[in-house]
Amino acid sequence: MDIRRILVTGRLYDELAALLPDKRPDKEYRFVAEEELKADDFVWADAYIGFQPAGPFSLANLRWVHSLGAGVDAFLWGREWNRNVLLTRTIGTFGEQIAEYCLSYLLRDAQCHDVYAWYQEQRQWKPIAPKRLGEQRIVIYGTGEIGRRIAETLRLFGVSPIGISQSGKASAPFSAVYRPEEAEEALAVADWVIAALPLTAETHHLFDETFFSRLHNAGFINVGRGATVDETALVGALENRNIRLAVLDVFEEEPLPPHSPLWEHPNVLITPHIAALTSTEDAVRSILDTLRCIEAGTPLNNVVDVSRQY
């Protein structure tokens, strides 16, 4: 595939403008803010690099689209994809970042940080025995790259994580892997459920009222995609104590609207989609590695299966 003209946008476009032309001076570039994209840019370009489709996005003349994020639902969800256009994604330190994010909240809860902060305000000396992380029963939805890294990290603390995937295929970091329809028993005794799923037709609102009804005072972390969760059902689960604490980094609508009841719920912790951020270094490395493979005709390890939507 011959790629000559590359259109780059998204929050890293300035940083990439300072690095890409020096590393691949044989290419033509346009570095454009999302809000400044014009139809002519898409007529001109062979390739598009960004976090999402922006401006008058069109696949008509493109040969390659590269997502600067790990996820590609922004490009595929609700959109008809041209199978002649190659879609790739960035591979970086996302697994490590998300594993650390999850671990931080699991330890925060196990070590009773909030309780001790309240006791300190009240000037009360009340020892509480911390919960050992290795004694927690943790279920991870998603056994791909990110889910595996979370499981590997938790194993270092004595956790025997259970994985849930569409196939139910065994995977080394997990003590067991089940299909969603086989998960009821594991969910009934789960201390935590971690959602690390891509958004597909199968996972859209997977975490609904029926799902939450199977939990009993569990913690819930979503580091996958916001639209995998029915937020109305989640609020209901918090009210009836199926969920005792929800840690949410992703939402169906982002930014989370000011009127969302999640903002003010006392048992919800919100972060603004920061569990894993693409660094400039990861972006440059992934773009250049992918471009080299495209030009050489060698196999890509980051190509997206459009039919599976990830």
Active-site annotation holds for 254: yes
Catalytic residue among 89, 149, 225, 231: 225
Instruction: Tabulate helix, strand, coil % of the chain (nearest 5).
Output: 35, 15, 50
Could you count the other beta carbons within 10 Å of the beta carbon of residue 129? 6
Tell me if the bond preceding 255 is cis, omega within 30° of 0: yes
Task: Report the share of the chain in percent with pLDDT over 90.
Answer: 99
- Selecting among 5, 24, 155, 273, the annotated active-site residue is 273
Question: What CA–CA distance (Å, rounded) separates 96 from 273?
Answer: 15
**Helix H or strand E encompassing 99:** helix 94-110
For all residues of the chain together, what is the average pLDDT?
97
pLDDT tens digit sequence for 247-306: 999 999 999 999 999 999 999 999 999 999 999 999 999 999 999 999 999 999 999 999
Domains and CATH numbers, the chain: 5-92+278-296 (3.40.50.720), 94-270 (3.40.50.720)
Q: Which of 254, 281, 292, 295 is catalytic?
A: 254
pLDDT of residue 170: 96
Strand ranges across the sheet with 47-50: 28-31, 5-8, 47-50, 64-67, 86-89
Band the pLDDT of 4: cuts 50, 70, 90: very high
Residue 139's pLDDT band, with cuts at 50, 70 and 90, is: very high
Task: Assign 208 a pLDDT band (cuts: 50, 70, 90).
Answer: very high
Confidence of residue 37 (pLDDT cuts 50, 70, 90): very high
Q: Tell me the per-residue pLDDT of 16-31, one tens digit each, with 9 for 90 and over.
A: 999 999 999 999 999 9
- Give the pLDDT band of residue 152 (cuts 50, 70, 90): very high
Return the percentage of the chain with pLDDT > 70, whole number. Answer: 100
- Confidence (pLDDT) at 140: 98
pTM of the model as a whole:
0.95
Task: Write down the pLDDT at residue 114.
Answer: 95
Mean pLDDT of 73-96: 96
Given this model, what pLDDT does residue 109 score?
98
Give me the pLDDT at residue 54, please: 98
Q: Is 225 an active-site residue?
A: yes
CA–CA distance, 160 with 176 (Å, rounded to integer): 9
With cut-offs at 50, 70 and 90, classify the pLDDT of residue 166: very high
Q: What is the pLDDT of residue 216?
A: 98
Q: How many CB atoms lie within 10 A of CB 153?
A: 20
Per-residue pLDDT, averaged over 147-156, amounts to 98
